[in-house]
Structure formats: structure tokens, C-alpha cells
Amino acid sequence: MGLVQCDRHGRQDNTWVCDHVYPAMKADSPLKIELWREFLWNIWACEECIRTRRLPVLETMDENALNDDLFGPTCVACFNEWRNSTQNAASASP
């Protein structure tokens, strides 16, 4: 629990991201995201999700609440690489 098997990084801690982050990571393109919650893991959501989607209420959140369509686990090393390489571009865009 809490680990993912990454093709590039091997066994890694995971972090949770909204489903918009996967394609952005894959394309290495910037996306504005915020640390939405620190729960069992850090949970990141893009601005659109935070603004427009109904995110689970924290009080009722458990592991099962994360296993819906909104969020999924990803390798924290991949995530950090993507974030570091795209962060400046993301914050510079209007």
C-alpha cells in the first residue's frame, strides 16, 4: 500500500493526482496544480478540478473515496520531475 511500480524509477512512493495530470505528464506539458489535500498521501488537483468539480469532502474521505474517477496514484519521482520541468512554464502562462 502506498507504493507504485514505475518503469523508470522502480518501486516508489506514490502521490495522487487528478485525471488531468496524467496526460500533462505524458506530454510533458505544463498544468497549474495545487496541493489539494494531505491525506495518506499528497493529493494534487488542477485548478479546473478545484474550481469546477465536486471533490470529496474531507471529513468523509477514506481510501475508498480516492478510488473513484477523480484521482489516481502516480510515481512521485515522475511527478516531481514533471512538476519541476514544467512549473515555471505553468506559472508564466496567463
Work out how close the CB of 94 gets to Zn ion at its nearest, in angstroms, rounded to a whole number: 18
Q: Is 76 in the site for Zn ion (CB under 5 A)?
A: no
Q: Is 46 in the site for Zn ion (CB under 5 A)?
A: yes
Q: Is 24 in the site for Zn ion (CB under 5 A)?
A: no
> Residue 61 or residue 81: which is nearer to Zn ion going by CB?
81
3-state secondary structure at position 58: helix
Distance of alpha carbon 34 from alpha carbon 12, whole angstroms: 21
Q: Is 8 in the site for Zn ion (CB under 5 A)?
A: yes
Work out how close the CB of 14 gets to Zn ion at its nearest, in angstroms, rounded to a whole number: 10
Q: Is 61 in the site for Zn ion (CB under 5 A)?
A: no
Residues binding Zn ion (CB under 5 A): 6, 8-9, 18, 20, 46, 49, 75, 77-78
